[in-house]
Amino acid sequence: MREQLVQRLTDGFTATDPTRLTECGELVRGKVRDVYVSDDELFMVTTDRLSAFDVVLTSVPCKGAILNAIAVEAFRATEDLCPNHLIEVPHPNVMRVRRTTPLPVEIILRRYITGSLWRDLHSGKAAAYEIDFPEGLKRDQRFDEVICTPSTKADVGLHDEPISEREIVARGLVSKELLDEVISKAHALFRRGEELAAARGLILVDTKYEFGLTPEGELIVIDEIHTADSSRYWVAEEYQARFEAGESQRMLDKENIRQWLIGQGYQGEGEPPHIPDEVRLDLAQTYAELHDRLLGRPFEVPVGSPQESLYS
């Protein structure tokens, strides 16, 4: 697998050419995706761009195809709980989806205290959630109940901000009735995600959901769900021993690169460090392992570059 990924290091699939996808709509470039917008549909191309701390940093070979495959499988595995925007998958890096009016908040559900929430708790930023956290929490400790820590949705290059459910309603971002429905559906999706992960020997630690309203007013889940970019996953059989020893968990998600960046003294401000090829390859292998575990089949590294097949 690693030798095949090495061959993909030079793909540089960080952007699409809008002059070759004119029939798909108008290009809107996000952190990871190039989205082509038409009247009632979106053509979402998941590139190999890597973002962390809301900053686009580099590319990771085959990342886009891996994320797309996991998201598609997760949408299909949860469509009985909440409708989603997926229409079809015309290319390994592409989802053709329904167009919606996205809600201006992200719903983040957490079963464990780790990552950004652990850092926010110690910096004081977690007060924005208006949650009474138990005293004496340890890093990576399991909560008795899943908690909700929403955030605002920032434009590319800006940082999402923590916000409480009460403040979401107070600001008029989402009505109380709609927010209650959103959070209820998010919890149902999370329970299903936990079940599917557990069946594969994994822990779904936390995850982010985005929702939108169709022109008919139907609430649906959009963007991506249960991927290595939007979620944290740990290897279940190693959790308890590592937690009791105070060791970091074995992570199969983007937190690996966040921790590497923090080790370099970078958390989204200033000039980011150069990310060596070995680090990019390690992350690609981590994403591929999550794909293999969650989907129950190995990720097959494409023979040709994504660009060649996308425009053909």
Q: Please report the DSSP string for the chain in residue order.
A: -HHHHHHTTT-------GGG-GGG-EEEE-SSEEEEE-SSEEEEEE-SEEEETTEEEEE-TTHHHHHHHHHHHHHHHHTTTS-B-EEEEEETTEEEEE--EE-SEEEEEEEE--HHHHHHHHHTGGGGG---PPTT--TTPEEEEEEE--EE-PPTTS---B--HHHHHHTTSS-HHHHHHHHHHHHHHHHHHHHHHHHTTEEEEEEEEEEEE-TT--EEEES--SSTTTEEEEEHHHHHHHHHHTPPP-B-STHHHHHHHHHTT-SSSSSPPP--HHHHHHHHHHHHHHHHHHHSS-----SS-HHHHH--
Do 216 and 300 lie in one domain? The reply is no
Q: Work out whether strand 105-112 and strand 101-102 pair parallel, antiparallel, or are unpaired.
A: unpaired
Residue 54 covered by a domain? yes
| 249 touches 232 (CB < 8 A) | no
Do 204 and 290 lie in one domain? The reply is no
Q: Residue 69: give its domain's CATH number.
A: 3.30.200.20
Per-residue model confidence (pLDDT) at position 308? 82
208-266 pLDDT, tens digit each? 999 999 999 999 999 999 999 999 999 999 999 999 999 999 999 999 999 999 999 99
Do 201 and 141 lie in one domain? The reply is yes
Do 142 and 88 lie in one domain? The reply is no
- Higher-pLDDT residue of 160 and 71 is 71
Do 114 and 232 lie in one domain? The reply is yes
Can you give the residue range of the structural domain that contains 109?
102-245
Residue 204 covered by a domain? yes
User: pLDDT band at residue 156, thresholds of 50, 70 and 90?
Assistant: low
Residue 56 covered by a domain? yes
User: pLDDT band at residue 159, thresholds of 50, 70 and 90?
Assistant: low
Position 50 pLDDT exceeds 90: yes
User: pLDDT band at residue 29, thresholds of 50, 70 and 90?
Assistant: very high
Q: What is the CA radius of gyration of the chain?
A: 19
Position 158 pLDDT exceeds 70: no
Print the SS3 string covering 23-83.
Answer: HHCEEEECCCEEEEECCCEEEEEECCEEEECCEEEEECCCHHHHHHHHHHHHHHHHCCCCC
User: pLDDT band at residue 153, thresholds of 50, 70 and 90?
Assistant: confident
Among the residue ranges 155-159, 175-179, 188-192, the one predicted with the least confidence is: 155-159
> How many structural domains is the chain composed of?
2
Per-residue model confidence (pLDDT) at position 157? 52
Per-residue model confidence (pLDDT) at position 40? 95
274-290 pLDDT, tens digit each? 999 999 999 999 999 99
Do 177 and 154 lie in one domain? The reply is yes
Q: What is the dihedral of CA 136, 151, 49, 292, to 10 degrees?
A: 60
Do 14 and 41 lie in one domain? The reply is yes
Do 78 and 163 lie in one domain? The reply is no
Residue 251 covered by a domain? no
Nearest to 310 by CA among 68, 105, 116, 148: 68
**What rounded mean pLDDT belongs to the chain?**
94
Residue 132 covered by a domain? yes
Do 138 and 20 lie in one domain? The reply is no
Separation of alpha carbons 50 and 67, rounded Å = 11
Residue 10 covered by a domain? yes
Do 231 and 113 lie in one domain? The reply is yes
Position 155 pLDDT exceeds 70: no
Per-residue model confidence (pLDDT) at position 312? 79
Position 139 pLDDT exceeds 90: yes
Residue 80 covered by a domain? yes
User: pLDDT band at residue 148, thresholds of 50, 70 and 90?
Assistant: very high
Residue 258 covered by a domain? no
Position 84 pLDDT exceeds 90: yes
- Torsion region of 179: left, alpha or beta (phi above 0 gives left; psi -120 to 50 gives alpha): alpha
36-45 pLDDT, tens digit each? 999 999 999 9
Q: Residue 145: give its domain's CATH number.
A: 3.30.470.20
Do 106 and 215 lie in one domain? The reply is yes
Do 91 and 107 lie in one domain? The reply is no
